[in-house]
Amino acid sequence: MTSETEKTTLRIAVAQLNPTVGDVAGNLAKARAARADAATQGADLLLLTELFISGYPPEDLVLKPAFLKACHRAVEDLAADTADGGPGVIIGFPRQDETGRYNAIAVLDAGKVIAVRDKVDLPNYGEFDEKRVFDQGAMPGPVNFRGVRLGIPICEDIWGELGVCETLAESGAEILLSPNGSPYYRGKVDIRHQVVLKQVIETGLPLLYANQLGGQDELVFDGASFAFNADKTLAFQMSQFEETIALTTWKRHGDGWACDGGPMSHIPEREEADYRACLLGFRDYVNKNGFKNVVLGLSGGIDSAICAAIAVDALGEERVRCVMLPYRYTSEDSLKDAADCAKALGCRYDIVPIEAPVTGFLSALSETFEGTEEGITEENLQSRTRGTILMAISNKFGSMVVTTGNKSEMSVGYATLYGDMNGGFNPIKDLYKMQVYALSRWRNQHVPPGALGPTGEVIPHNIIDKAPSAELRPNQTDQDSLPPYPVLDDILECLVELEMSTEEIVARGHDAATVHRIEHLLYIAEYKRRQSAPGVKITRKNFGRDRRYPITNRFRDRG
């Protein structure tokens, strides 16, 4: 047997897995199964991701002593497994001692915990709020694992400016292994590559980046684990949006360690990546929260059509129920388009007319409303009637209601509280209207890996081609009260994602009055968004975790 000091090969199994927050026993079982898989592949070491045993992000669960104890026991149990001489394990867990509470990793081998390291750089921006629940760890040194000095910076430790990787390199680390919980947004893989390359260049060491997979509330962890060698070449690239374990082979050369073998997977392009993120986030939200099936209102419009497609792709046709809720303003085109969409997807399709209940509400309110003109109140009654019926179906059959408003509508308040905003989850909440169109066209030509839906055109072309309308009054279109969606979406992206001034937005060629009106609508709709269902994060700044504006807010940017 080769002595540890002469070790020239290290086989690391990278586990890109889907833990569930709070399911300590289930996550431990996943880790054990992964270790068994790694042993079969001949691995020396299994690398799991950040806070794997608790699930990530655990948020205020880590303030609960009983939860921390359960996580600690699970790590100790896993450590005992390593007495069998098989692969060692690096696993993330929340730990507490007399000095504080930490986002930590444990290195397990020979039946015990041989080292613990704590996260130094705690992110406190966007979706992250770790300074609220964790204490800052001490600067780490490398861990000697079977004769190889491993530096283990945890997630933000490679993103921030505290010099964690430099410290590890200066103290003798030979390979950097970084367990991460990095959520998806558009273009994130390229950004991670840039972050890792910066550390590789500064330290002169290879860096392996292991990322979590799966949906957790509004966040989607997309995996796409990878490594760069010290010569700045991409050593391996794991798949995105797929749970997998990959064996990577590392060899010691005269100038240090390098990865000599691992997968080289394709990373999806823009529309495919966004669609698969919506699919994974939706599937995990439904399944991890124990819903057997879902129901949604299928209006014949593009938003509900793409939500139905995502639902069928995620869950299968037998778990999706679509309901058309027509009123006197519902067009024949919409009736046909909704039926065609449900037929193409193969899911259950019901028609529940709302004429009688709307008439009943109007009759009940006739005396109260006497002398007033019909308007938005009567329009909203239609939406609220639909919402009530969908919630009744939900209550009766245990189905989660899927709400279907896009980011353009949510931005300007083009949605009805306790009506079309009713629901448990929204797969397109962070997609602007033009992005919804782009993803619909993409889905009609592609079936993403792992999807349970059919091939071919699942969103009828007439739905994509026709002018969008809420159909709450005769001949209504969205553009009656909103600028064209390409204009609206650009203004909103400038206001929401880029935090640009109205003066800067006007300088892009937009009408000043329109920009100020959209800014006003954005601010006054904040109270609606606070009451909206969670939905998958796709952009850099979603409504919720990333953008926390006050409801009471009189500021307006007048340039």
- Supply the residues annotated as catalytic: 50, 119, 155
Would you tell me how many other CB atoms lie within 10 Å of the CB of residue 507?
11
Q: Is 334 annotated as a binding residue?
A: no
Is 409 marked as binding a ligand? yes
Binding residue per annotation — 303?
yes
The string of DSSP codes covering 436-480 is HHHHHHHHHH---TT--SPSS--S-HHHHHSPP---SSTT--GGG
Cα 285 to Cα 214, 216, 217, 354, distances in angstroms:
9, 7, 6, 30
Rounded Cα gap, residues 280 and 366, in angstroms: 47
Contacts of 378 by beta carbon, 8 Å cutoff, 6+ apart: 362
Quote the DSSP letter at residue 125. Answer: S
- Residue 475 labeled ligand binder: no
What are the b/e assignments for 381-406, b being 16+ CB within 10 Å? bbbbbbbbbbeebbeeeebbbbbbbb
The annotation status of 202 as a binding-site residue, yes or no, is: no
For residue 489, the SS3 value is helix
Q: Tell me, rounded to whole angstroms, the distance of Cα 342 from its chain centroid.
A: 26
CA 532/CA 528 separation, integer angstroms? 6
Q: For residues 537 and 271, what is the distance between their CA atoms, to the nearest angstrom?
A: 14
User: Tokens 């204009």 map to which residue?
Assistant: 487
The answer to the question of whether 125 is labelled as a binding residue is yes
Answer yes or no: is 172 a known binding residue.
Answer: no
Secondary structure of the chain: what % helix, strand, coil (to 5)? 40, 20, 40
Q: Are strands 219-222 and 213-216 parallel, antiparallel or unpaired?
A: antiparallel
Contacts of 196-201 spanning 24+ positions with Cβ under 8 A: 196/158, 196/226, 196/228, 197/228, 197/232, 199/158, 199/165, 200/228, 200/229, 200/230, 200/232, 201/232
Q: Is 299 annotated as a binding residue?
A: yes
Q: Which residue has the tokens 């300088």?
A: 507
297 is in an annotated binding site: yes
281 is in an annotated binding site: no
380 known ligand binder: yes
SS3 273: helix
Determine if residue 301 is labeled as part of a ligand binding site: yes
Q: Cα 90 from chain centroid?
A: 24
Is 544 annotated for ligand binding?
A: no
* Radius of gyration of the chain, Cα coordinates, nearest whole angstrom: 26
Amino acid at 539: T
How far is the C-alpha of 67 from the C-alpha of 498, rounded, in Å?
39
378 known ligand binder:
no
49 assigned ligand-binding residue: no
Asked if residue 199 lies in contact with residue 206, where contact means CB atoms within 8 angstroms, the answer is no
Cis check: omega of the bond before 57, within 30 degrees of 0: yes
* Rounded CA separation 314/310 (Å): 6
Q: Is the dihedral of CA 547, 548, 552, 556 positive or negative?
A: negative
> Helix or strand or coil: residue 290?
coil
CA 486, CA 437: separation in Å to the nearest integer? 11
Feature table: binding site for deamido-NAD(+): 380, 409, 528
- Known binding-site residue numbers for L-glutamine: 125, 182, 188
Residues flagged as binding site for ATP = 297-304, 404
